[in-house]
Amino acid sequence: MVATNLALSLKDRLRVQLLDCDVEEPNAHIFLKPKITQSEAVCIPVPVVDEEKCTHCRRCAEICVYKAIAVLKNKVLVFPQLCHGCGACSYLCPDHAISEQGKEIGVVELGRADGLDFVHGRLSIGEAMAPPVIRKVKQHIDAKKVAIIDVSPGTSCPVVEAVRGSDFCLLVTEPTPFGLNDLVLAVEMIRKMSIPCGVVINRAGVGDGKVEEYCSRDNIPILLTIPLDARIAGLYSRGQVLIDGMPEWRQRFLNLFDLIREKTGVLHS
């Protein structure tokens, strides 16, 4: 909700891209309804073993930290679902018995939505490797535009990959013990990555004041508060954009962007 409304509020002022990097369950397209014009497969290289050349030395199994390759007495087994496509096994096989084959794990789609550049990634069902899809989405960032990246919740590898290289990170939370727990972890992660951050409190009024206390104590600015409001929930549940249903929110998202710009010193024309 924050990413799409921020992007749509800004588009008349600046050139904006919205990149949905929540590749396990992207949903920005439900609100933006983009016209997709381009689609790119995302592949990782997985090993293929030539049994004629293999001497069953076990080197590949020893160096694969993901346990994606196992060597039996007379056979080598590859588990493509576990393979991270790092290339170490083919590089280090002493008998040059391993070649690589591209395996499709997802797709990146590009298009336009209501004056915005739109990009999202979709990880194929059953695949676990979100970071390569996220990296492919981020290859489409245009440095001349404001890139707003929607990121999955939490602090897992896909989140780190999506956030890496950002000028600023907006942490969206809610004022509950669960929200506070996840916020503390997210702040720890963002600080390790040396990215400035601020907080948006969503569903304000649903819980207690502990998130505000934490932000004040740790000097983290709260840049926007979105109240618990049945009209906002209704718009969201119908796949409608908040600033269309409640236009007074447009200026609030513009103010949010101005605060971020002040804090980062990053200018876009």
Tokens of 138: 């981020």
Tell the smallest beta-carbon distance from residue 23 to ligand SF4 (Å).
Answer: 20
* Binds ligand SF4 by CB under 6 A, chosen from 13, 38, 41, 58: 58
The answer to whether the beta carbons of residues 264 and 196 sit under 8 Å apart is: yes
* Binds ligand SF4 by CB under 6 A, chosen from 28, 49, 201, 223: 49
* Binds ligand SF4 by CB under 6 A, chosen from 30, 66, 153, 239: 66
d(CA 86, CA 126): 20
Q: Compute the chain's Rg from CA coordinates.
A: 22
* Nearer to ligand SF4 (CB atom), residue 13 or residue 75: 75
The residue range among 15-23, 90-98, 180-188, 189-197 that interacts with ligand SF4, by the rule CB under 6 A, is 90-98
* Nearer to ligand SF4 (CB atom), residue 97 or residue 242: 97
d(CA 55, CA 226): 63
Tell the smallest beta-carbon distance from residue 211 to ligand SF4 (Å).
Answer: 39
Q: How many residues in the chain?
A: 269
The set of residues, in sequence order, having a beta carbon less than 8 Å from that of 8 and lying 6+ positions away, is 32, 114, 116, 241, 243, 250
d(CA 44, CA 10): 35
Tell the smallest beta-carbon distance from residue 200 to ligand SF4 (Å).
Answer: 37
Tell the smallest beta-carbon distance from residue 134 to ligand SF4 (Å).
Answer: 18
Residue 117 burial (C-beta neighbours within 10 Å; 0-12, 13-18, 19+): buried
Binding site for ligand SF4 (CB under 6 A): 47, 49, 54-60, 64, 66, 68-69, 71, 76, 83-89, 93, 95, 97-98
